[in-house]
Structure 1
Amino acid sequence: MVVGPRGTIVTSRNGQADICPGSLADWIAMSMKLFTCPTETRSLDRRQWFVGVATASALCVGPFGVSHSVQAAAVYAGLNSDRYLGKVKVETAIEDRKVFLEGPAVDRAGIVYFTNVPMSKILRWDPQNRKLAVFRDDSHETNGLYFDRTGRLLCCEGGMGRVTRTTMTTGKVEVLVESYQGRKFAKPNDLCVDAQGRVYFTSRSAVEDLPGENPKGVYRIDTDGQVQPVLQWPQVHMPNGIVLAPDGKTLYLIEAHPDAEHHRDVRAYDVKPDGALVNERIHINFYPGRSGDGMCIDAEGNLYIAAGLHKLRGTSETLDTRPGIHVVSPGGELVAFRETPEDTITNCAFGGPDLRTLYITCGSKLVSLRTDVPGKPSYRPGG
């Protein structure tokens, strides 16, 4: 028997490995004396491989895994990535005192907006004229961006703990929310908008919540301006990227906690008519590697997830999740992957005249690649 992370127990019967649920207490108790590894593993489909194949392989040598397990490499090698993704092209590189790029969003004209979080800049890239400009240079460490159906730019201003909305024609910035029940938000991170105009956003600070802040979670801003918590600690551990399915009936959430025995996966929820989230399930699990950061979705419901690392960064995350765009089907299967050139890959968004250009922030670069399936734009009904 081998005990896997995130409450998963891999049992061996006649040399065959099975994945079965187990409690965190089970893992802690049993990981103190790791069992021998099964000589064979059963074939797992790509809906299971991060939690199953990579975990079982990694735990043959230690509780938190090794880098690039043989099974993980085999799964990546077996993908038909060219069916979905073209080659990576560098759009522009940022030279600044500090660089951590995030939050790409594309407007109706095809202009790409993205953020340099530590410098509090929102940048503007014109891919047709190949021109880069600063759109806003005091954005309070804005992270995620999102265009609503009317073309206004929503911003997660982490430095101020608030969500704002900018009217692009006038430049007017309006604060949508900055507190709940008298307590400020930690660091709003990413967001999306449903067909009714309700805004879902993630908020998280460091590994531990700070005194006086609302806990890590997913919050919803209703059309009347009222804010409601929809998911909070301990149900979610480190919420990050968030997106709605094309029909608006499913919400996907990235969990990206760097510490061992915490969530590193994409979770799916059914969206009720009143905006509540129910029927939680794991869509794909990246543990023990680095989980996704941000993501977007195409017209057929495939997720494009920015995940993985080139180099270890001093956490319990391994290199089993390769650095790049992971395409995951509506059924939760990894179907394609394209590596990106730098750490840290953070987020992506569709653009271009045909919505088949995927813009990606990674390291100091904004890169792009062509996709076979067009994206679902945020600025149309249902976005």
Structure 2
Amino acid sequence: MKWTPFLTLVLLACHLTRAQEAALVAKGAELTLLADGFEFTEGPAVAQNGDVYFTDQPNDRIVKWNAADNSVTDWMQPSGRSNGLYFGPDGALYACADEKNELWQIDANKKVTVLVSQFEGKKLGGPNDLWINGQGGIYFTDPFYKRSWWGHSTPEIKERRVYYLPAKGKTPIVVAKDFVNPNGIIGTADGKTLYIADIGDKKTYVFKVEKDGQLTDRSLFCNMGSDGMTLDTEGNVYLTGDGVTVFSPQGEKLHHIAVPEKWTANVTFGGPDRKTLFITAMDSVYTLEMAVAGAH
């Protein structure tokens, strides 16, 4: 074989890819099917003890993975057609309850408090995903996907936006707009940076979070949208859709995790050490042991 500069670059790229994978995925780890038989899995969220809760939205239920014994059981049904989930600093589970376009707080006894049911007298498009900062302020995306359980077919609010509900607040405010269809959202552990995926425009943006919760300094992070998303402790961003694609904090593609499903909807880190990557994809949930831990 004739050695060329091009071949050198190819071999170097392959070496870097293997090194990047080794830095992310635990040695010898393989993608494992945790559970299947659902209709469409979404919204994984990790509790303080490492348990992971996720939704099976068409079947109107929230399912729980127990870290102690690796069991998967129904936790709440009906669940308001919950989609995205996230645990707040108060230990409550917060849900994008798509049945009536609402944002819910669910306590340990499964008591539901409706936090947001409308904006300026109009029904939201359908809260889809959310992230909660250390003070309990909630950011949530509001795309529009026509649901079979709705009695309406067009949105009352025409603009697709991202909202912020301050801790103990009663009224959300618009903090980001000019999206085609915002979907995935995740913030850094220090609360200073927020990522928002515009899945409708195949782009993900990064914002600076101000002390009052407002978002500034919008910039393009990468030319890829995402359904759900998460972060690890190295600041890497995990986007979903075609499997899971990992980007560095600078927006450089580091690694792709292939998932044997038509669509990968969401992802989070779970387990007591936060080193198990949970992936919801179509009718299944997969896990992958990682060398890095989740940021949340």
* Same fold? TM cut 0.5: yes
The answer to whether 1:119 aligns with 2:59 is yes
Query: Per-residue CA shift, 1:213-265, capped at 9, x if unaligned?
Result: 36311000012222101122xx11110110112221111001111xxxxx111
CA RMSD, Structure 1 to Structure 2 (Å): 2.1
Q: Any gaps of 5 or more consecutive residues in structure 1?
A: 1-70, 258-262, 309-323, 378-383
Q: CA–CA distance in 2 between the matches of 1:212 and 1:339?
A: 38
Q: CA–CA distance in 2 between the matches of 1:77 and 1:305?
A: 23
Residue 367 (structure 1) aligned to one of 274, 277, 286 = 286
Q: CA–CA distance in 1 between the matches of 2:118 and 2:141?
A: 13
Q: CA–CA distance in 1 between the matches of 2:113 and 2:14?
A: 44
The answer to whether 1:282 aligns with 2:220 is yes
CA contact (8 A) 2:102 2:118 kept: yes
CA contact (8 A) 1:158 1:186 kept: no
Query: Per-residue CA shift, 1:152-192, capped at 9, x if unaligned?
Result: 00000112100000111x22110110111100111110000
Residue 217 (structure 1) aligned to one of 144, 161, 165 = 161
The answer for the alignment partner of 1:10 in structure 2 is: none
* Aligned ranges 1:150-229 → 2 under 5 Å: 150-168=90-108, 170-206=109-145, 210-213=154-157, 215-223=159-167, 224-229=169-174
* Aligned ranges 1:1-383 → 2 under 5 Å: 79-80=17-18, 81-85=21-25, 86-95=29-38, 99-168=39-108, 170-206=109-145, 210-213=154-157, 215-223=159-167, 224-232=169-177, 235-257=178-200, 263-286=201-224, 291-308=225-242, 324-377=243-296
Q: CA–CA distance in 2 between the matches of 1:264 and 1:238?
A: 9
CA contact (8 A) 1:162 1:188 kept: yes
The answer for the alignment partner of 2:6 in structure 1 is: none
Q: Looking at CA atoms only, which structure, 1 or 2, has the larger radius of gyration?
A: 1
Counterpart of 1:101, as a letter, is T
Q: CA–CA distance in 1 between the matches of 2:14 and 2:284?
A: 24
Q: CA–CA distance in 2 between the matches of 1:76 and 1:362?
A: 28
For residue 180 of structure 1, give the secondary structure of its aligned residue in structure 2.
Answer: coil
The aligned length equals 274
Query: Per-residue CA shift, 1:294-343, capped at 9, x if unaligned?
Result: 111112211111122xxxxxxxxxxxxxxx11111111111112111212
Counterpart of 2:215, as a letter, is L
The answer for the alignment partner of 1:67 in structure 2 is: none
> Relative to structure 1, is the Cα distance of residues 270 and 171 closer, same or farther in structure 2, using a 3 angstrom cutoff?
same
Q: Any gaps of 5 or more consecutive residues in structure 2?
A: 1-9, 147-152
**TM-score scaled by length of structure 1:** 0.68
> Relative to structure 1, is the Cα distance of residues 76 and 217 closer, same or farther in structure 2, using a 3 angstrom cutoff?
farther
CA contact (8 A) 2:125 2:156 kept: no
Query: Per-residue CA shift, 1:16-71, capped at 9, x if unaligned?
Result: xxxxxxxxxxxxxxxxxxxxxxxxxxxxxxxxxxxxxxxxxxxxxxxxxxxxxxx9
1:83 CA displacement: 2.4
- Using the aligned pairs only, state the percent identity: 32
